[in-house]
Amino acid sequence: MKQKIKSFGNLDLYLMQGDLTQVPVDAIMTAINSGAMWFGGIDGAIQRAAGTRYHDQAMQNMPLKNLDVVDAKGDSDNHAGMFDNVIFVVDNLESSLDQVVYKGLEAAHNIGYETLAVPAIRMGVMQGVVEKTPEETVRKIGEGVLNFLEVYGDKTSLKELTFVVYNDPNSQRLISEGISLLPIKN
């Protein structure tokens, strides 16, 4: 079940626990590396729901470098997921997470997506590599959202941004607390 955390103009921020691929959205925004080593939990979830069609589009855009964005097109009518597209942001662990989040949100806005789902990026296997604690990771996710809102504000096409945590109550709590504390003014 989606829990509304915060609003900014027409953009509502939500948090939910569950399968990212079963959230009905225009797109999922997630991170990939530039080396086509796409075997993490989110990559696996996307591929179980939709096969390799989205990752194949990322492969067609090779070579990729840090913070490049690939808008992989699809349609939920053609696979088992409830998402249409995937925005891949290349994350070679060279930039802070706020930059990765900002690039993904900016791409979603520029494309005109209204609904976006975001997994708990860098809170699984990559935890501790750049941001040293889960709290720092959540703070950087929040900074990415805040930086995006400072630039695009209520002009954004985005109407719903849903953070999805698969099965980690601690990450869910941290994200909920972190996002709710963002200094966003309606």
Q: Is 185 within the bounds of a domain?
A: no
104-118 pLDDT per residue, tens: 999 999 999 999 999
Q: Which residue has the higher pLDDT, 171 or 43?
A: 43
Confidence class of residue 122 from pLDDT cuts 50, 70 and 90?
A: confident
- Region 43-58: mean pLDDT is 95
Please count the structural domains in the chain: 1
141-163 pLDDT per residue, tens: 989 999 999 999 889 999 999 99
User: Are the C-beta atoms of residues 142 and 182 closer than 8 Å to each other?
Assistant: yes
Is the pLDDT at 3 greater than 90, yes or no? Answer: no
- Region 80-90: mean pLDDT is 96
The CATH number covering residue 138 comes to 3.40.220.10
Long-range contacts of 33-37 (CB under 8 A, 24+ apart): 33/90, 33/91, 33/92, 33/93, 34/62, 34/63, 34/64, 34/65, 34/66, 34/68, 34/90, 34/92, 36/62
Q: Which domain holds residue 57?
A: 3-180
Q: Which residue has the higher pLDDT, 177 or 118?
A: 118
Q: What is the pLDDT of residue 110?
A: 98
Beta-ladder partners of 27: 85, 116
Is the pLDDT at 125 greater than 70, yes or no? Answer: no
Q: Is 53 within the bounds of a domain?
A: yes
Q: What is the pLDDT of residue 120?
A: 84
Q: Is 110 within the bounds of a domain?
A: yes
Q: Is 186 within the bounds of a domain?
A: no
Is the pLDDT at 181 greater than 70, yes or no? Answer: no
